[in-house]
Structure 1
C-alpha cells in the first residue's frame, strides 16, 4: 500500500502545480510545450467501463498491449477545443504504430454530439458525465492527459493544454512506441 499512496501523492502534487496559474487568477488558454511529467512511482492505471459515441461499453483492458493517451476534456473547455485538432492528428499518425488516444469527456452526450458536428475526432470519445473515472485518476482540472504504457502502468501526465503536434510530442511517441 505505501507504493499506491506515493503514486497518488505524486498525482496530487502535479495537479496542484497545474492549478497554480488558475488559483492566481491567470487564466491560461494558450497551448503549452509538450512535456510529460513522469511519476516518482509508476502505478497501475485504474480500469474503467464507459460508453462511447455509439453506445458501446469500452474498457481500459481492451487496449492491453497498446500505449494509451487517456485525455480528459469537455466541450465547454476552451483550451480543450484548441488542442483537439492536434490530438486527432496524433491519433491518425501514431495509431498504426500502436498508440490509442481515448477522449474521456466530462460532459453530457448532447453537448459532445453538438461539439462533434463541427469537430472530427480521430479517436474514440468516452462519456464520464458524472466524473467517476476522473476521480479514479485524481483529475480535478481539465485538460489532462495520462500516458499508460503497454504494461498497463502510468508513464506520466500532461497537465493543461499541450502542443500535441510539436516535434517534441512526435519524438516522445516514436520513442515510447518502440
Structure 2
C-alpha cells in the first residue's frame, strides 16, 4: 500500500511539474530585447494614420517610450527635439506614448511644434512586447532590425547620437 501511495504521489508530482512548465511556456507573451529582432508593430500616429516599424526597413530607428505626466520624460524632451532637428532626416526617432490619448500629447507638446513622430500605444501592448517597465525608455534598432540598445531613463542628444553612429555602418 505504501508503494501505491508513493507511486501516486510521484505521478501527481510529475504531472504537476509538466503542467507548470507547459503553462509557463504557453503563458509567455512575445518579448524582445537587446540582441533580438525588433518586433514589427503597427501603431496609430499623430497625423491620424498608422505607422509600422517595417516602414523604416534598412534604417536605424530609435523608439522612445514616454508619458506626458513623466517628469524625466519632460526633462529629456528638449534633447530629443534637438536630436530630431539635427539628425531626424538620417535616423528615425519614433516617440511612442504609452497609454494616453492623442489630446494629452497634443496639449503637452504645444500641438507638436517640434514636428516629432508620435505614435500611440493606447493599451501598452507594444510596450509589453518590448519589456518597457517605465518611462522614458529608449531602444536603438540597427539597419538589420536588431535591437542594439535598451536604455532606461532620460537621455541626451549626444548620448543618442553616439549610439546611432556606432551602428551606422
**Structure 2 length as normaliser, TM-score?**
0.75
Distance 1:142 1:154 in 2: 18
Structure number with bigger Rg: 2
1:101 aligns with 2:90: no
Q: State which of 165, 168, 177 in structure 1 corresponds to 2:168.
A: 177
Q: 1:134-173 residue pairs with structure 2 within 5 A?
A: 134-162=127-155, 164-166=156-158, 168-173=159-164
Asked if 2 retains the 8 angstrom alpha-carbon contact of 1:69 and 1:102, the reply is yes
Distance 1:109 1:169 in 2: 26
Q: CA, structure 1 residues 70+122, in 2 after alignment: closer, same or farther (shift >3 Å)? A: same
1:88 aligns with 2:81: yes
Q: Quote how far apart the aligned CAs of 1:118 are.
A: 6.9
> Which runs of no fewer than 5 residues in structure 1 stay unpaired?
12-38
Q: CA, structure 1 residues 139+171, in 2 after alignment: closer, same or farther (shift >3 Å)? A: closer
Between 137-146 and 120-129, the greater mean CA deviation after superposition: 120-129
Q: How many residues align?
A: 140
- Partner of 1:104, secondary structure, is strand
Q: CA, structure 1 residues 62+119, in 2 after alignment: closer, same or farther (shift >3 Å)? A: closer
Find the counterpart in structure 2 of residue 17 from structure 1. Answer: none
Find the counterpart in structure 2 of residue 58 from structure 1. Answer: 51
Q: Quote how far apart the aligned CAs of 1:119 are.
A: 6.0
- Partner of 1:133, secondary structure, is helix
Deviations 1:87-144 (A, max 9, x none): 1111221223x21000000111121111121763342100112101101101111110
Asked if 1 retains the 8 angstrom alpha-carbon contact of 2:44 and 2:50, the reply is yes
**Structure 1 length as normaliser, TM-score?**
0.71
